[in-house]
Amino acid sequence: MKVLVAVVVMTAACGSKSPSTTTTPTGGEGSAVVTLPDVPFEELDHEQRVEFMKQKVVPQMKLLFQKHDAEDFAGFGCQICHGAQAKDGHFDMPNPNLPKLNLSDLGNFKKEDVEWMQNEIAPTMSKILNLPMASQENPKGFGCPSCHPVQGQ
C-alpha cells in the first residue's frame, strides 16, 4: 500500500503542467507540497493560484470565519467567498453573489460583522496577498470591493 501511495504521488509530481512549480516532500508520509514562485498573486497561473489558495488563504480564513461563527462556517471552503461557481472552477472576484455594499452606509449589516470584516478579514487577506490596504490615498488597494460588489459600480 505504501508503494502504491508513493507511485501515485510521484506520478502526480512528474505530471505537473506548470513548469515553474516544483514538488517537495513534507514531513508526512506520501504527502507533497507545491512550492510556489515568489511573484505577485496576479502573475500566478490558474493552477498556481488554486494552490496558493489551498496553502495560504483557506487555512487562515477558515480559522477566522469559524472563530466568528462556527455554525455558519462549519463547512468552510472555496464556496464561502467564490460562491457555487467555485465547484466549476470559476473564482471571479468580486463575487456578484456576495452581499452588495453601499460603502457610505453599511447600516444594513450587523455592526459586529462589519467590524470583523474590516478589522480581521480584509487586513488578513491584504497581508496574505501582499497587497496594501485600500485607503483614501490608495483606493486601488485591497478592501471591501475586492470581494464584494458595490452599489453603483
Give the pLDDT confidence of 72-118 residue by residue, as tens digits: 999 999 999 999 989 998 898 999 999 999 999 999 999 999 999 99
At 50, the pLDDT band (50, 70, 90 cuts) reads: very high
pLDDT for 78 equals 93
- Cα 66 from Cα 120, distance rounded (Å): 12
Is pLDDT of 130 > 80? yes
C-alpha 21, offset from chain centre: 19
- Structural domain containing residue 138: 37-146
Residues 95 and 67 in one domain: yes
Is pLDDT of 134 > 60? yes
Q: Residues with Cβ < 8 Å from 142, sequence gap 6 or more?
A: 122, 125, 126, 129, 131, 132, 133, 134
Cell of 31: 504527502
CA count, 13 A, side-chain hemisphere, 140: 0
Q: Is residue 108 one of the residues assigned to a domain?
A: yes
pLDDT for 44 equals 93
- Number of domains observed in the structure of the chain: 2
Residues 47 and 95 in one domain: yes
Residues 15 and 60 in one domain: no
**3-state DSSP assignment of residue 23:** strand
- Cα 20 from Cα 31, distance rounded (Å): 20
At 54, the pLDDT band (50, 70, 90 cuts) reads: very high
pLDDT for 31 equals 58
Residues 85 and 60 in one domain: yes
Residues 100 and 140 in one domain: yes
Q: Is residue 59 one of the residues assigned to a domain?
A: yes
pLDDT for 114 equals 95
Dump pLDDT digits (tens) for 3-42: 333 333 333 333 333 333 443 344 445 557 788 998 888 8
At 152, the pLDDT band (50, 70, 90 cuts) reads: confident
pLDDT for 55 equals 94
- Cα 62 from Cα 69, distance rounded (Å): 10
- Cα 71 from Cα 66, distance rounded (Å): 7
